[in-house]
Amino acid sequence: MKKIVVIGATAVDLLGQCLGSLIANDSNPGRITVSVGGVGHNIALLLAGLGMDVDLISPLAQDDFGKLIANRLADARFRFLPIPVENAFSAVYLAACDKNGVLEVGINDFSLLDQIENTDFNRYDNLIRAADAIVLDANLPEMVIGYLINRYHPIPIYCDGVSQTKVLRFKPFLDKIASIKVNRQELASLHGLALPLGEASIRTICDKSSVFYVITDGKNPVVYNDNGNIKSQTPETPHRYLTSTGAGDALFAGVIFGIKSGMSADQAVGCGLKLARLTFENGLAELGKKSLERLLDEEGTFDG
């Protein structure tokens, strides 16, 4: 069993979904749920569901939301290793979705992560050094990202770009990471290029780097590089839409699982796309209760 250490955001997700068509500038009837999320948490949840041995290191505020997070993760499939932060507010993600679960607008407050320092990881040093892979999300401060990458390289490090602004925190360290998941806007920001990005631009980026890029574009094909070739796969169409929240995290979790399980790049991306589709159909909270490895096996993910 591969040991994965995930370092990143754990947040409270407040998700509102309209029952009917969304009416702008008005109060819409709907359902509101409260759950634990955050990029780091979501990837850890899914990797654990896939049978990986997972530790999640994440800052934890001491407010009411922090207590909710600690209580809900007490019996998680992965080990939650908090970095306590005093006099701070928990990371929170607020999303308003249409009746199909597709995000209309989201607001996030992840300022909690700006308060962690390099020394906060001293207590977990031996644990991190024993990892087969490390996963970082760009919600971490650049100082911390640099410290972790420089200290633990050459352990394979997988990075989630998060946003056009935050992805720049990885730019100084691209020569030391194994893989990064970005959308096209984040990729353009990372390399100082204008949109739209054509295949020639993507090829130029990939040819100059040893990084395994996983490039998303909404419902359009996921593009990735494989032994000098630029390839793509079309996302799977969900049988039903519950929510889009966490689908990108699921994609990357599936890719990481695939690579660490010895799959080819094609198989790993295919695994990620299946996991993203399952997230659309079930939601992260429900998927977190299932044996994802068995679900993927039933769909023929491991055939051939």
The C-alpha atoms of residue 304 and residue 280 are separated, in whole angstroms, by 26
pLDDT value for 304: 55
Q: What pLDDT does residue 124 have? A: 98
Categorize the per-residue pLDDT at 100 as very low, low, confident or very high, splitting at 50, 70 and 90: confident
CB 63 within 8 A of CB 89: yes
* pLDDT digit string, tens, across residues 194-245: 999 988 999 999 998 999 999 999 999 999 999 999 999 999 999 988 888 8
pTM for the full predicted model:
0.95
pLDDT in tens, 240-274: 888 888 999 999 999 999 999 999 999 999 999 99
pLDDT grade for 191, boundaries at 50, 70 and 90: very high
Question: What does the alpha-carbon distance between residue 193 and residue 23 come to, in Å, rounded to a whole number?
Answer: 36
pLDDT tens profile 65-97: 999 999 999 999 999 999 999 999 999 999 999
pLDDT of 276 over the 90 cut:
yes
How many folded domains does the chain comprise?
A: 1
- Nearest CA to 116 out of 87, 145, 141, 151 is that of 141
Q: Do the domain assignments include residue 303?
A: no
What is the span of the domain harbouring residue 150? 3-298
303: pLDDT confidence band, cut at 50, 70 and 90? low
Give per-residue pLDDT as tens, 133-186: 999 999 999 999 999 999 999 999 999 999 999 999 999 999 999 999 999 999
Instruction: Give DSSP secondary structure letters for the chain.
Output: --EEEEES--EEEEEEEESSS--TTS---EEEEEEEE-HHHHHHHHHHHTT-EEEEEEEEESSHHHHHHHHHTTT-SSEEEEEEESS-PPPEEEEEE-TTS-EEEEEEE-GGGGG--GGGGGGGHHHHHT-SEEEEETTS-HHHHHHHHHHHTTS-EEEE--STTGGGGGGGGGGG-SEEEEEHHHHHHHHT-PSSP-HHHHHHHHHT---EEEEEETTEEEEEEETTEEEEEPPPPPSS-S--TTHHHHHHHHHHHHHHTT--HHHHHHHHHHHHHHHHHH-HHHHTTS-HHHHHHHTTTT--
Per-residue pLDDT, averaged over 44-68, amounts to 97
Residue 23 has pLDDT above 60, yes or no: yes
Residue 257: give its domain's CATH number: 3.40.1190.20
Residue 295 has pLDDT above 90, yes or no: no
Mean of the per-residue pLDDT values for the chain? 95
Contacts of 198 (CB under 8 A, 6+ apart): none
- Ramachandran class of 300: left when φ > 0, alpha when ψ lies in -120 to 50, beta otherwise: left
In angstroms, rounded to a whole number, what is the distance separating the alpha carbons of residues 201 and 199?
A: 5
